[in-house]
Amino acid sequence: MVKRMTFKQFLYIVPLLAFIAVFSIYPIVTSFMYTFFDYRTNDQQYNNFYFSQKLNVKLFLEDCDYVNYFLDADKTLLSVKDAAAVDAIEQKVTDEKAKYAGMTGTPTLSNAQSSEISDFVKSLRQETLAIYDRNTGIEFYNKENMPQILDDMDACIIESNFIGLRGYAELFSDTRFWLALGHTVYFTAVSVLLEFVLGMLLALIMNKAMKGIGLIRTAALIPWAIPTAVSAMIWSYLYDGSYGVVAKIFADIGLIKSQTAMLLTANGAMSSAILADVWKTTPYMALLLLGGLQIIDRGLYESAAIDGAGQVKIFFKITLPLMKSSILVALLFRTLDAFRVYDLIAILTGGGPGNGTESLSVYSYKLMFGQSNFGYGSVVVTGMFICVAIIAFIYVKVLGAEVMSNE
């Protein structure tokens, strides 16, 4: 029978729920919201969420002032007839400016207002440039600046950047995303498989009651204790094509054609990243598996030995079945961690050469912080989240172990 939580008991977890809401749920919801917008921080047209057309009032009013300022400076060089035409243009600009002088921020524009502003800028461009074209022999002060200001006025109308599900449609046709997904799946599958095999061997060794086992356990955990960024830097020196020790050894024994092949070829760089990851996280896998080994009743091993079972048979008939839950946890944690790999590849290869080792995390980082494209970058992150959810579902279904229970 499951006991219901009382109100007083619930109050104890309110701070935890608030923490989760602020630091977990809110970023997830915000990131998901970004996927429905073409959101780019380096472009004023897309650096906010716009469901409809908006007007950047401050910029529009400033541009109107610049137009009149430039025309005033150049008017002194014109004939009386053209100077009068400039006065008429300046009055038109002043009248248009007065319509929006009381507004602030980015108010919503109706279709009529948007068309009116566009027509105004279009006619302003034609009239001002026509005056400059009629007086080609005069060296005006602001002839070169005027087209830039007019272009800036066109940009004052902010179009809606709501794209709905178009970002997800683009994801399916994005070859770079699928290449990054392939690299991520390959890196995850190979590294986790090697880490599981080596981690199981290391766990079996650490589970033995022998002299100096404490020292062995401590030494085995040293790679895991080293920060990933530091570990990646260490391996980058070991793989260096000029003086890297590991690269030279691999070249001497014939595993690679030359020392430079480790980080300057796609296959070599991916193998290098996998090797560095296996060295770094095998102790973590071993630690998780060791916990499962230590809860197995020793009497089962003694009974099996008395019945004449060999070590191999005992391992597959007793150890592995009884470690099912521990193996699920270890594989699930490591697979999800490896699938989200960023820092190791970012520092070791940068996703290169030629995007040959680019993972989904590295690709999304480049989109968001390299190109300031947070909209499509969030779509890639959402795609990665879906992949992670599928992986977790498959693990639980295939291994069939209950990680959580009410009992």
Residue 387 has pLDDT above 90, yes or no: yes
Residue of 194, 395, 203, 402 lying closest to 315 (CA atoms)? 203
Q: Which has the minimum average pLDDT: 130-139, 155-164, 296-305, 393-402? A: 393-402
The strand pairing partners of 162, in sequence order, are 37
- Residue 383 CA to residue 355 CA, distance in Å, equals 19
For residues 200 and 316, is the Cβ–Cβ distance under 8 A? no
Residue with tokens 């100096």: 212
- Residue 139 CA to residue 11 CA, distance in Å, equals 77
User: Across residues 369-378, what is the average pLDDT?
Assistant: 92
Q: Which has the minimum average pLDDT: 7-21, 97-111, 202-216? A: 202-216
Residue 75 has pLDDT above 50, yes or no: yes
Predicted confidence band of residue 41 (pLDDT cuts 50, 70, 90)? confident
pLDDT of residue 407: 45
Q: In angstroms, how far apart are the furthest CA atoms of the chain? A: 117
Most confident of 43-57, 160-174, 297-311, 318-332: 160-174
Phi and psi angles of residue 54, each rounded to the nearest 5 degrees, phi first: -125, 165
For residues 339 and 387, is the Cβ–Cβ distance under 8 A? yes
The domain segmentation of the chain, as residue ranges, is 1-34, 54-158, 175-399
Q: With pLDDT > 90 as the criterion, what percentage of the chain qualifies?
A: 31
Residue with tokens 């401590």: 218
Residue type present at position 209? A
Q: Which CATH number fits domain 175-399: 1.10.3720.10, 1.10.8.60, 3.40.50.300, 3.40.50.720?
A: 1.10.3720.10
What is the per-residue pLDDT across 239-262, written as a single tens digit (0 to 9) for each? 988 888 888 888 888 888 888 888
What is the per-residue pLDDT across 178-213, written as a single tens digit (0 to 9) for each? 999 999 999 999 999 999 999 999 988 888 766 777
pLDDT of residue 401: 47
pLDDT of residue 406: 46
Predicted confidence band of residue 276 (pLDDT cuts 50, 70, 90)? very high
Predicted confidence band of residue 327 (pLDDT cuts 50, 70, 90)? confident
Q: Which has the minimum average pLDDT: 25-34, 56-65, 155-164, 309-318? A: 309-318
